[in-house]
Amino acid sequence: MPRTTTLECSGCPPLRALAFDALGLIKVVEARDKQRGIPQVVERWGDPESSKCVMAVSMIDRNSQPLLAVARKNNEIEVLSPVNGDIQATISDASGLDICSEENNIVGLHLFGKQKSELASGCCTLLTCTTKGNASLRSAELADSSTESSHIDSPKTWNVCSGGNILCCKVDGQENFALFGGKGVEINIWDINNLTKIWNSKSPPKDNLGIFTPTCFTSATFLMNDEHRKFVAGTNSHQVRLYDISAQRRPVLSVDFRETPIKALAADIDGHSVYVGNGSGDMASFDIRTGKMLGGFSGKCSGSIRSIVRHPELPIIASCGLDSYLRLWDTKTRQLLSAVFLKQHIMHVLFDSKFDFKGVDSVPSKGKTQTEIMLSEEVEVLPSKRKKSSRNNEHVEDGSERKKKSKHSKERKKSEGKDGSEKIASRDERRKSTLKKKNNS
């Protein structure tokens, strides 16, 4: 049975978020009240289909010409508008992506936003990476229809690993360098312009007991937008590691967090705070300079966390995962502001911070919240059976008749009691009279 309890939250300021689930749906969540509002699902793009599960997402968040790229499980890449969901380009060339099976899905995707000349001419540039380490850099034409787009030039492809599986891919804020890592693959950084590897990490040595932990990176993020030398990576052995490529190849700092694999990482805009989420639903923030945990987020999630995103302007972060909830948290107090139940497993979430709410009507917050409405839709209501109702009626009728009979019996007993007392009194008088006669005689 689905959860039927409502979540009491204080609400959040006006914002817009895009959630991507395991059935390929894109759900638009908005909070439109000026002060404190409850986020609600206002739009849903696409049709539910398991083969269109969203594997990776990337967005150019800006006022003019925003774009959104989505990589799906069926090895298709869609470039669409984050404002209305219109598809502007579709790339489904499996041979160009060098994808041989479903096990070699796209796990890394980045949509470049600094090629203004290409965007002005109706083009976009994409970086993709598959599980087997096949990276590709390509350009595509933008159109208003959902037809397959034509490539401007042949894609540039290269391999970022000789073995293992790639699980994480990230591009720095200046869009000049990209890092790759995964299961059996050490973190390696590439120069995108020259397609050359500039750095490769080295696994930590054995511990005091002589135990060596195999390499398995699950997530990674750069600390600052204008710096590619420092980044944070999460491992399958519940470790959060800080790397500095200008210092050494091994991690500068390593911190353990709980006992389950790290699944999501997000850097704060201050450049030294990191938000961590693991496979058991725990979230916390760390000061990566000292390795000290600043605090955990109140309200434990019931499923694995798959994505954490920091809002670029508001002090809010969003988290989502396998418990089908999109949660919004306050970065300062680490308190839950609001939560929206989206029914499917949520794989990724993004903020659309440049969306204009001026021409949008505010959503009334009276009555039930969106969480209560969506929860009530899945609660099964059992129909009442007629037999039980008829039996109940019969029981009611029998009870009334019994009450009537009991009243009559009580009245009879009272009347009989009165007659008996009169008879007893007459008998006593007779006895007394007979005794007086005997005494006189």
3-state secondary structure of 368: coil
Helix (H) or strand (E) holding 149: none
3-state secondary structure of 145: coil
Q: What is the pLDDT of residues 358-394, one digit of tens each?
A: 666 554 433 344 444 344 333 333 333 334 444 444 4
pLDDT at 94 over 60: no
Read off the tokens for 436: 């007086």
Give the number of other CB atoms < 10 A from CB of residue 96: 15
pLDDT at 372: 42
Give the number of other CB atoms < 10 A from CB of residue 117: 8
Domain boundaries, the chain: 15-378, 406-441
For the whole model, what pTM was predicted? 0.78
Residue type, 332: K
Residue 284 half-sphere exposure, CB side, CA atoms within 13 Å?
21
Instruction: Say which residues have a Cβ less than 8 Å from residue 27's Cβ, sequence separation at least 6.
Output: 18, 19, 21, 41, 43, 44, 45, 342
Under the banding of pLDDT at 50, 70 and 90, the label for residue 140 is confident
End-to-end CA distance of the chain: 98
DSSP 187: E
DSSP 52: G
Q: What percent of the chain has pLDDT over 90?
A: 60
More confident residue, 295 or 121: 295
Three-state secondary structure readout of 22-39? CCCCEEEEEECCCCCECC
Give long-range contacts, CB 8 A cutoff, 24+ apart: 253-256: 253/288, 253/291, 254/204, 254/291, 255/286, 255/291, 255/293
Region class of 309: left (phi > 0), else alpha (psi between -120 and 50), else beta = beta
**What backbone phi and psi angles, to 5 degrees, belong to 279?**
-75, -10
DSSP assignment string, 330-357: ETTT--EEEEEE-SSPEEEEEE-TT---
d(CA 294, CA 259): 18
d(CA 196, CA 179): 12
> How does the average pLDDT of the chain come out, rounded?
82
More confident residue, 167 or 96: 167
Asked if 339 and 328 count as a contact pair (C-beta separation under 8 A), the reply is yes
pLDDT at 314 over 90: yes
Helix (H) or strand (E) holding 48: none
pLDDT at 96 over 80: no
Please choose, from the candidates 348, 337, 401, 345, the residue with its C-alpha nearest in 3D space to the C-alpha of residue 11: 337
DSSP assignment string, 257-278: -SSS-EEEEEE-TTSSEEEEEE
More confident residue, 382 or 88: 88
pLDDT at 404 over 80: no
3-state secondary structure of 148: strand
Greatest mean pLDDT range, 8-17, 47-56, 113-122 = 47-56
Q: What is the pLDDT of residues 222-251, one digit of tens each?
A: 999 889 999 999 999 999 999 999 999 999
15-378: CATH architecture: 7 Propeller (2.130)
Q: What is the pLDDT of residues 168-184, one digit of tens each?
A: 999 999 999 999 999 99
Chain centroid, CA 224 distance in Å: 25
DSSP 247: T
Asked if 298 and 339 count as a contact pair (C-beta separation under 8 A), the reply is no
d(CA 200, CA 231): 13
d(CA 37, CA 33): 5
